[in-house]
Structure formats: structure tokens, C-alpha cells
Amino acid sequence: QINLPVIHQYVDYLVNEQNVKNVFVNGTTGEGLSLSIQERKQLAEEWMCQGKDKLDHVIIHVGALNLPECQELARHAAAIGAGGIAVIAPFFFKPTNKDELVAFLQKVASEAPEVPFYYYHIPSLTGVKIRVEELLDGIKAQIPTFQGVKFSDTDLLDLAQCINKNETGEFEFLYGVDEQLLGALAVGANGAVGSTYNYLGRQTNLMLQAFAKPDLALAQNYQFLTGEFLNFVIKLGFGVAQTKAVMTFVSGIPMGPPRLPLVDASSEFIVKAKAKLDSIVWPDGD
């Protein structure tokens, strides 16, 4: 079951404790693809409601394995006033080239013709390895609402080529591999969407500020410490269930269990992850 009442507390925590004022709803960490259409609509509505006058942007992921569901979710997101929609590539029957992928994305985007549209590039989960650099060529003519990419891949060469082509700055590139964010910033990423920013948002914002100064040594320190924690938990086995467990013990907000086939994080993982995170001394002394 989804727990709608907790979202009010969740929004306040993100804004007040983590200085995070933008959210990406029903994505990977939110298990969007494990939820029913009705559940996804309810969550989107609740985030929009609770985020009113508190959040700057609410982007709703509307990707699904079939086109009609994507289109229905896109129409719903538009109707409730979402600040943007995002779509992953379908990953059972996959697009095999740029033209097939763009055709699919266009059919979704056209259902929300006033809403900024993002392509959610996450080849490690979808298996769709079409380079984003190639995808961008001529995309604005086919998808007028195209705003940018949630780029959740380690291929910084592809990202850099995208940004190099984006001379007018019309597209945004939001990076999604948290442990490599500083590298993505160096090649021109505009921002980030990731699971760790739920509980390390404050530290990541301080890293962004340091990079902007620029104080590269301080920015590196924050990135290295984030990486130290992630390297530790990845070795233990770190996925959506474990992310929920970390967010629960850091925030005090019950994130609940994942939905099958995912299973709860072990108590051993929670003890070790908490001890590791507690042991890290951040540059600002917290």
C-alpha cells in the first residue's frame, strides 16, 4: 500500500532539513514502475498538493512499458499542473535506434503539449543504449516541449558531447549518478536528480556552492565523502530497498518496505550503513 499522509512530512523534511526544493516523482527510487496507474496518479496529486508554495519544481515520471499508459499519465500530470514530465525508454520491447525512440517519446509528449518534457536516460536498467548525443539531433522539431535529459549513466563523454552541442543552452542536463556528480558538473551538467539527495541534499548543495565559487578542493572533499559512503554500501548490496532504509534512519520518516520482487534491507545492512554514515565528518562540521 502507498502511504499518502507521510508526504506532507516528507516535503517539509526535504525543504527544511535538506534544502531540496525540486522533486522527481514516481522514478526509480520511488518504484514508479512497480506501482499501478491509479497509485501513480494518487502520488503525483499528493506531491503537487503538499508541494504547493513549498517546492519550486515537481517533475513527474510518466514512463511505462506501453504507450497508452504513458499517454494517460502524461495527460494526468498536465491536468494537475506538473512542472515537467519525464519518460524512460520502454525496456521489454525496446527501441533499437534513435528514430524509434524519438517516435515513442513524441507520442507521449504530445499528450501534454504545454508541459516541459524530459527524456530519462538510464541504460543500466532499460538496456536501451542509444546515445543521447545522437538523440538530440533535430529533437526540438519533433518534440517542441523537449526541455532536457535526466542523464543517469556513467558515460561522461556522451554527456559532454551533449552539452557541447547545446550552445544556446536551450536544454537542461540533470545528472543521475550521484557518486560522479562533480565530474558531470565539470563538463557542464545543469543540476542533479538522485536518490542520495533525499538524505545528503544539504551536503550536496554545499558541494554545488563550492564548485560555483570555485573552491574545487572543498567540492572534491564533499564528493569524496559521499563516494566513501556509497562505496561502502554498494559493497554490502545497495538498491532501492536499502535506499529506503537509509532515508528512514536519517530522516525519521517511515519510508516503508519496497514492493515485491524487491525485499526489505537486512537489519545487518542498516546497522552497518548507519555506523558508516555517522562516522563521516563533513567539511562544515556536521
pLDDT tens digits, one per residue of 194-248: 999 999 999 999 999 999 999 999 999 999 999 999 999 999 999 999 999 999 9
State yes or no: 248 annotated in a binding site. Answer: no
State yes or no: 87 annotated in a binding site. Answer: no
Last residue of a domain, one of 129, 163, 194: 194
- The verdict on 93 and 166 lying in the same domain is yes
Short-list 183, 207, 208, 180, CA closest to 194 = 180
3-state DSSP assignment of residue 187: coil
Structural domain range at position 68: 6-194
DSSP 98-124: HHHHHHHHHHHHTTSTTS-EEEEE-HH
Give the whole-angstrom CA distance, residue 124 versus residue 231: 18
Give the whole-angstrom CA distance, residue 33 versus residue 88: 10
Catalytic residue among 119, 120, 199, 222: 120
- The verdict on 184 and 211 lying in the same domain is no
Give the whole-angstrom CA distance, residue 166 versus residue 160: 10
Give the whole-angstrom CA distance, residue 119 versus residue 226: 26
In this structure, is residue 258 part of a structural domain? yes
Q: What is the DSSP letter of 27?
A: S
Residue 69 is predicted with a pLDDT of 98
3-state DSSP assignment of residue 117: strand
- The verdict on 94 and 229 lying in the same domain is no
In this structure, is residue 1 part of a structural domain? no
10 is catalytic: no
Q: What are the grid coordinates assigned to 6, written together?
A: 507521510
119 is catalytic: no
Give the whole-angstrom CA distance, residue 98 versus residue 121: 13
- The verdict on 236 and 189 lying in the same domain is no
95: CATH: 3.20.20.70
Amino acid found at 89: A
- The verdict on 51 and 179 lying in the same domain is yes
- The verdict on 68 and 149 lying in the same domain is yes
User: Into how many domains does the chain fold?
Assistant: 2
In this structure, is residue 232 part of a structural domain? yes
Cα angle 196, 249, 281 (rounded to 5 degrees) comes to 65
- The verdict on 137 and 63 lying in the same domain is yes
In this structure, is residue 235 part of a structural domain? yes
Catalytic residue among 13, 118, 119, 150: 150
In this structure, is residue 37 part of a structural domain? yes
Name, in order, each residue with C-beta under 8 angstroms of 274's C-beta and a sequence gap of 6 or more: 246, 249
- The verdict on 170 and 223 lying in the same domain is no
- The verdict on 123 and 236 lying in the same domain is no
- The verdict on 54 and 181 lying in the same domain is yes
In this structure, is residue 168 part of a structural domain? yes
Give the whole-angstrom CA distance, residue 172 versus residue 261: 34
Last residue of a domain, one of 152, 177, 194: 194
In this structure, is residue 34 part of a structural domain? yes
- The verdict on 265 and 148 lying in the same domain is no
DSSP 56-101: SEEEEE---SSHHHHHHHHHHHHHTT-SEEEEEPPSSS---SHHHH
Give the whole-angstrom CA distance, residue 51 versus residue 4: 13
- The verdict on 46 and 182 lying in the same domain is yes
In this structure, is residue 11 part of a structural domain? yes
Residue 284 is predicted with a pLDDT of 86
Q: Which parts of the chain have pLDDT scores under 50?
A: none
